[in-house]
Amino acid sequence: MAGINLDGARVLLTGASSGIGRATALRLASRGARLAVVARRRELLESLADEAATRGLARPLVLVADLSQRGAAHAVADAAREGFGVVDILVNNAGGGVGGSQWAVGDGDAGREAFEVNYWSPLALIHELVPAMRERRQGAVVNVTSLAQVSAWPGFGAYAATKAALALSTHTLDAELHGSGVQVIEVVPGPVDTAVQGETRLLPGIERMLDRQPLGDPDVLAARIVRALERGRRRVVYPRSGRFPLVLPGIARGYTRRLAARTWSTVDAQRREELLGTVVRSGSMGDAVAREARDAWERARARA
DSSP for 176-228?
Answer: HTTTTTEEEEEEEE-SBSSTHHHHHTTSTTHHHHHTTSPPBPHHHHHHHHHHH
Residue 208 predicted with pLDDT over 90:
no
pLDDT bin (cut points 50, 70, 90) of residue 89 is very high
Say what the pLDDT of residue 26 is: 98
Query: 3-state DSSP call for residue 107?
Result: coil
Q: How far apart are CA 116 and CA 123, in angstroms?
A: 9
Per the model's pLDDT, the better-predicted residue between 175 and 155 turns out to be: 175
Residue 213 predicted with pLDDT over 80:
no
pLDDT bin (cut points 50, 70, 90) of residue 139 is very high
Q: How far apart are CA 257 and CA 242, in angstroms?
A: 17
| Non-local CB neighbours of 304 within 8 Å, separated by 6+ positions | none
Number of helices followed by number of strands (H, E) in the chain: 14, 9
Domain presence at residue 1: no
Domain presence at residue 210: yes
Q: Could you tell me which residues are beta bridge partners of residue 143?
A: 92, 186
Say what the pLDDT of residue 209 is: 76
Average pLDDT over residues 21-28: 98
Question: Which range of residues forms the domain containing residue 140?
Answer: 10-303
**Closest alpha carbon to 280 in 190, 156, 153:** 156
Q: How far apart are CA 280 and CA 51, in angstroms?
A: 33
Residue 275 predicted with pLDDT over 90:
no
The answer to whether 238 is a known catalytic residue is no
Say what the pLDDT of residue 88 is: 98
Residue 127 predicted with pLDDT over 80:
yes
Mean pLDDT of the chain: 93
For 192, phi and psi rounded to 5 degrees?
Answer: -125, 145
* Number of domain units in the chain: 1
What is the percentage of the chain residues whose pLDDT exceeds 90? 73
Say what the pLDDT of residue 91 is: 98
Residue 283 predicted with pLDDT over 90:
no
Average pLDDT over residues 250-267: 90
Q: What is the pLDDT of residues 73-82, one digit of tens each?
A: 999 999 999 9
Choose, from 119, 159, 238, 255, the residue flagged as catalytic.
Answer: 159
Q: Are 298 and 198 in contact (CB under 8 A)?
A: yes
Average pLDDT over residues 197-226: 86
Domain presence at residue 3: no
Q: How far apart are CA 230 and CA 241, in angstroms?
A: 23
Say what the pLDDT of residue 304 is: 66
Say what the pLDDT of residue 87 is: 98
Average pLDDT over residues 23-32: 98
pTM of the model: 0.94
Domain presence at residue 75: yes
**Closest alpha carbon to 214 in 232, 191, 197, 235:** 191
Domain presence at residue 4: no
- Residue 276, domain CATH: 3.40.50.720
Buried b (16+ CB within 10 A) or exposed e, 272-303: beebbeebbbbbbbbbeebbebbeebbeeeee
Q: Are 254 and 247 in contact (CB under 8 A)?
A: no
Domain presence at residue 243: yes
Residue 49 predicted with pLDDT over 90:
yes
Q: Could you tell me which residues are beta bridge partners of residue 192?
A: 216
Give just the sign of the alpha carbon dihedral 4, 7, 10, 11.
positive
Residue 128 predicted with pLDDT over 80:
yes
Q: Starting at the earlier edge strand, list the strands of the sheet with 139-144.
A: 61-64, 34-39, 10-14, 89-92, 139-144, 182-189, 235-238
Give just the sign of the alpha carbon dihedral 73, 75, 77, 80.
negative
Say what the pLDDT of residue 145 is: 98
Domain presence at residue 272: yes
Per the model's pLDDT, the better-predicted residue between 76 and 292 turns out to be: 76
Say what the pLDDT of residue 211 is: 73
Domain presence at residue 182: yes
Say what the pLDDT of residue 292 is: 87
